[in-house]
Amino acid sequence: MARPDILNPLFASVSTIKGIGPQLSSLMAGFFGAPENQDAILLDILMHMPSGIIDRRQQPGVQFAQPGTISTFLLHVDKHFPPPRHNNRIPYRIEAHDESGEITISYFAGRASWLEKTLPVGEKRYVSGLVTFYQGNPQLSHPDYIVEEDKFDDLPLVEPVYPLTHGLTSKKLQLATQGALEKLPQIGEWIPQARLDINGWPNFNSAMHMMHSPQKPQDASIEGAARARLAYDEYFASQLTLQLVRATMTRESGLARRLNGTKTKLINDALPFELTDGQKTAVNEIYEDLMSPRKMARLVQGDVGSGKTVVALLAMAAMAEAGHQSALMAPTEILSTQHYATLAPLAEKAGLRVALLTGKIPAGERREIQAQIEAGEIDIVVGTHALFQSSVVFASLGLTVVDEQHRFGVHQRLALSDKGRKTELLVMTATPIPRTLVLTHFGDMDVSLLKEKPAGRQPIDTAILPAAEYDRVISRLKAKVGEGAQAFWVCPLVEESENLDVISAEDRHKSLQKVFGDRVGMVHGRMKAQEKQEVMEKFQRNELSILVATTVIEVGVDVPNATIMIIEHAERFGLSQLHQLRGRVGRGDKRSACLLLHGDKLSEMAQERLKTIRSTEDGFEIAERDLELRGQGDLLGTRQSGMPGFRIAIPDFHKDLLEVAHEDAIDLLERNPGLQGADGDAARTLLYLFRKDLAIPLIRAG
């Protein structure tokens, strides 16, 4: 279905607004993130929300003016006092008065001709701006607005304040916004009237006018009804898109797999531990998905060390029982190799054939493995994204497991579901994600939670120390290494920086080598994959006692004998990063420790982060606290709102609306999967308004 004609004015270039020339149009394209070589459109302007309000309604009279307040006065202009020529340090002053007292209007570097025309002696003008006092007398320095007495209606008494960029002034943006509002057509309603009434929400058009042309401050307030209604609309468009993606991915082209339990029983019997209740529940949910005719699209959310890999192995074993292959895709070669090392011995006990396919495998061996995959002689293939290159052909791919990918987005999920027409999808996250971000990133997927850690895992003692305690730390480390312990030492930077007073991994590696000799290794992101792999393997074989690293070891590295994690400049890391790094130890049966070394000056937020890490090992609690601390921060590397691609909704204020929008989207598509009739037309309009074009082709015909 094409975009409804009624919306066409909103998709016109900003250059169609009077007063917006090519230079300003180009600036707006960059500011609003328009596609390359395209102009920003009127809709971009309307979706750009005010960040605050200036209230100019206060008209106290000069005698009652308060310093530091925005006030509006009807003033009689008395006299101009231009400064001496070539003296820019003295302002141009204009004396004026109202019935209650006298006031000075001042301009530095003011043009006399313009000021004489704007504030002519003997006439009255409305003047609005910030009141200050100089030597006990009220002043307006560079007032914001000056309007003639009969043009009071031109003065914005309640003025929205917008985020701006260099070269884009508030007045120019307001001009553009008012031009866009004039072109806003009457748009039909997608929210039931009862919902509008209960919440006291305006319709879409009224909400836009209240935000951009408010009559009172609460009209455009972040907590107000107009902003809440538009935030709901944005969430609803996003959730509707995710549910349409889900419908496409899970459409009944899946197969009801027949599972006989033989392979999974052999793996269960071979495990050196019993599954946790969370693992058992997740595995059963996966089995139910596989036996259903709908394709599986499931997210397994596990805390660090909660045993996600075993859940994936049991899912892949079940798929082998049904006669199909599985692919486990990890983001790095280190992780792929590690998964292979963990899975292969267990899989072999169940008679499953496992292959590792990464870039470092020699060409001849690679061709041989690819031939075995194509012939169906391999049950489980472990590798990186290269698994989905066209040269890798599966005999019968039934399940794709994607590991440790926060940013494995909707487009990639759709592409994968196309790759294997009947392929089930299991995504595993590196760390827990807050509920709000699960809905916004993975609202198209079912979710399984793994909250407990496998039996036998020891708690990790976490301590916070100033960097000045370095010598004491080294002395303790010497003793522990002497007893056979291994340690990670994490630094925020690879090499020294002129701008930051931070020890680099390279410098720390050198200083530790002076103490521990060749028992110290180093890995960082700039090294070649092969080099990193070799160092990691030496550490895993206990040929190195200390591994100096950057956050390259944040995800998935498994060295059960490593019991010490030292994080230098811990104040520079995010909460979930610290939790991930700490999770690299405590993976064996020995008690482990994590030392957080910090610099001298700690911000309040850094102190809160370190206290949180010390007080809990619960990744779900840490994820929620991280979102709380950052507020509108960047949790998954998304926009500054803390949410992916949201311009209106702010989680601190509108979090509850997300759950409502999620349920409403599911409900609408259950009632009306083809989005037919007035109900459906309104929903399609909503998708176009919020630029969810991805979703339109996914709507079922009929």
- Average pLDDT estimate for 71-100: 93
- CB-based contacts of 437, cutoff 8 Å, min separation 6: 627, 635, 636, 642, 643
Q: Is the pLDDT of residue 252 over 80?
A: no
What per-residue confidence (pLDDT) applies to 413? 66
In sequence order, the β-bridge partners of residue 146 are 127
Q: What is the pLDDT of residues 315-363, one digit of tens each?
A: 999 999 999 999 998 887 878 888 898 899 999 999 999 999 987 788 8
pLDDT tens, position by position, 269-296: 999 889 999 999 999 999 999 999 888 9
Query: What is the share, in percent, of the chain residues with pLDDT greater than 90?
Result: 58
Region 425-446 average pLDDT: 81
pLDDT, one tens digit per residue, over 192-233 is: 999 999 999 999 999 999 999 999 999 999 999 999 999 999
Residues 165-183 have a mean pLDDT of 92
How far apart CA 535 and CA 539 sit, in angstroms, is: 6
pLDDT for 419 equals 56
In the prediction, which pLDDT does 639 show? 33
pLDDT higher than 70, residue 418: no
Out of 223-232, 297-306, 522-531, the most confident range is 223-232
Q: Does position 636 have pLDDT exceeding 50, yes or no?
A: no
Structure confidence by residue, pLDDT tens digits, 571-587: 988 888 898 889 888 88
Does pLDDT of 701 surpass 80? Answer: no
Question: Which residues, listed in sequence order, are joined to residue 44 by a DSSP beta bridge?
Answer: none
Q: Tell me which of 69-73, 245-249, 251-255 is least confident.
A: 251-255
Predicted local confidence at residue 183, as pLDDT: 95
Most confident of 153-162, 397-406, 616-625: 153-162
**Is the distance from CB of 424 to CB of 276 less than 8 angstroms?**
no
pLDDT at 638 over 60: no
d(CA 317, CA 267): 8
The one-letter amino acid code at 171 reads K
Helices (H), ranges, 251-362: 262-270, 277-291, 308-321, 333-349
Amino acid 551: pLDDT: 78
Residue 501 has pLDDT above 90, yes or no: no
pLDDT-based confidence at residue 374 (cuts at 50, 70, 90): very high
The Cα–Cα gap between 695 and 698 comes to 5
Which pLDDT score, from 0 to 100, does residue 493 have? 82
Strand partners, 92: 107
Residue 535 has pLDDT above 80, yes or no: yes
- What's residue 518's pLDDT? 93
Local confidence band at 305 (pLDDT 50, 70, 90 cut-offs):
confident
Q: How confident is the model at residue 445 (pLDDT cuts 50, 70, 90)?
A: confident
* Residue 496, pLDDT above cutoff 90: no
Are 462 and 567 in contact by the 8 Å Cβ rule? The answer is no
> What mean pLDDT do residues 159-171 have?
91
**Residue 155's pLDDT is what?**
92
Tens digits of per-residue pLDDT, 88-100? 789 999 999 999 9
Q: How confident is the model at residue 643 (pLDDT cuts 50, 70, 90)?
A: very low
Average model confidence (pLDDT) for the chain? 88
* pLDDT on residue 103: 97
- Calpha distance 267→566 (Å, rounded): 36
The pLDDT tens digits for 539-562 are: 999 999 999 998 777 555 678 899
Cβ neighbors of 373 (< 8 A, separation 6 or more) are 325, 355, 357, 381, 392, 393, 394, 395
273-278 long-range contacts, CB within 8 A, separation 24+: 273/454, 273/455, 273/456, 274/455, 275/307, 275/310, 276/306, 276/307, 276/450, 276/452, 276/453, 276/454, 276/455, 277/452, 278/302, 278/306, 278/449, 278/450, 278/451, 278/452
Say what the pLDDT of residue 562 is.
92
Whether 373 shows a pLDDT value over 80: the answer reads yes
Among the residue ranges 121-135, 367-381, 429-443, 458-472, the one predicted with the least confidence is 429-443
Kind plus residue range of the DSSP H or E element containing 383: strand 380-383
Q: Say whether pTM exceeds 0.85.
A: no
| Alpha carbons 671 and 665: distance in angstroms, whole number | 10
401: pLDDT strictly greater than 50: yes
